[in-house]
Amino acid sequence: MSGKPDAKQMSKVRIGIVGTGYIGNVHGRIHSRDERAEIAALYDIIPERAERTAKTIGGKVCSSREELMENCDAVLICSPNKTHKEVALHAIAEGKHVFCEKPFSIGIDDANELRDAANAGSGVFQVGHNRRYAPVYATLKELLKEDQPHSAHIKMNRGELKNPVWTGDVNVTGGFLYETTIHLFDMLRFQFGEIEELVAYGSQHEYPELDEFSIIFRFKNGFHCTFASSSDASWHFPFERIEVFCHHRTIMTEEMERLFDSRGMDANFETRSFHMVEKEERWGYVQEDAAFIDSIQKGTQPPVTADDGFRSVELVESVYTAIRSGQRIRF
Ligand SMILES: NC(=O)c1ccc[n+]([C@@H]2O[C@H](COP(=O)([O-])OP(=O)(O)OC[C@H]3O[C@@H](n4cnc5c(N)ncnc54)[C@H](O)[C@@H]3O)[C@@H](O)[C@H]2O)c1
């Protein structure tokens, strides 16, 4: 998107939320504090949930998605994964700005269709890869500008697929990689560049789907990394970690909480702690919601585009294909 904002764009952005569960309320609370936005419309297939949300942040409780579209300028898609494509296509067809939670969609065909529609649409389309804005990962990116990273060891685990209940239903999530691991698949591209090749192994233990993964990625710039992801590894801290190895330097993150930077030949390291940052900011939600309103009002491209969302889906599908076929995947 480009061009000067017109008067209409500079008026308050009327937000409509589809899906007022956990993350719908997180985004709703944040936008309700932004003077450039107002919570205008809420829709959930369980109306009591939308009514409960309306009591805390306001907004008209709508009895259909059509009614929601009539009452907003921008739609936040916060319903479960399998609904994303249909809701997004509806919002784009109505000329709305769209914030779509991860995953962008499920399956390469749907991702292709949605990417084409989003790129042809008249509004902003942003994907909810919040970790990009988290201070720990923004700091990692800054530090990596000083050095050439050589390799990394990465993990993205989860304690269970029971909460919310649909997270264990592959027909809703598209698979564990879509629900959880995709966060750090997006992070791979954000921190290290484009991927050239991958090999992957997977197995099934706790749930009726592949739930344990070991992957090796090689990037176009020569960087390479190992990546482990388990759906039932307990919530042992840190369930999410990146260790990056550079020339006489290791930088390590622990979830959104801490970053360690050890450089030189001597045993020393610097710690940066983010635990005092309020959670909605520490996890990047405040920054991504502000970026969405910025893009709408300034007419600029959002930081995480439909193309980025598509590339994450492509990575997920490639890992599943690599495991099922036993073949390495080249991009
Ligand atoms: N970026 C993040 O950190 C993050 C965190 C949590 C969830 N998410 C994503 O956000 C989405 C929602 O997750 P959640 O944890 O909030 O789930 P949730 O179960 O707490 O909330 C989902 C809500 O959507 C409603 N819903 C279901 N189908 C609907 C439909 N067709 N139309 C309207 N409403 C519908 C449900 O009734 C529920 O209230 C998922 O795609 C998930 O992957 C992202």
Q: What's the whole-number mean pLDDT along residues 252-278? A: 95
Q: What is the position in ligand 1's atom list of the atom closest to the CA of 81?
A: 41
> Does the CB atom of residue 81 touch ligand 1 within 6 A?
yes
Cα distances (Å, whole numbers) of residue 331 to 219, 309, 328: 10, 16, 10
What is the bridge-based pairing of β-strands 249-254 and 240-246?
A: antiparallel
> Does the CB atom of residue 101 touch ligand 1 within 6 A?
yes
pLDDT exceeds cutoff 90 at 159: yes
Q: What's the whole-number mean pLDDT along residues 113-117? A: 98
Q: 7-131, superfamily in CATH?
A: NAD(P)-binding Rossmann-like Domain (3.40.50.720)
Amino acid, res. 127: V
State residue 10's pLDDT score. Answer: 75
Question: What is the DSSP code (8-state) at residue 36?
Answer: T
State residue 7's pLDDT score. Answer: 43
pLDDT exceeds cutoff 70 at 3: no
The whole-angstrom separation of Cα 153 and Cα 5 is 43
pLDDT band for position 268 (50/70/90)?
A: confident
pLDDT exceeds cutoff 60 at 233: yes
State residue 1's pLDDT score. Answer: 46
Residues of the chain with CATH 3.30.360.10: 133-284+314-330
Q: Which tens digit of pLDDT belongs to each residue from 129-138?
A: 999 999 999 9
Residues of the chain with CATH 3.40.50.720: 7-131
CATH topology of domain 133-284+314-330: Dihydrodipicolinate Reductase; domain 2 (3.30.360)
Name the residue at shortest CA distance from atom 2 of ligand 1: 130
State residue 6's pLDDT score. Answer: 52
> Phi/psi at 78 (nearest 5 deg)?
-125, 25
Neighbours of 45 (CB within 10 A): 11
The whole-angstrom separation of Cα 161 and Cα 86 is 24
* pTM score: 0.96
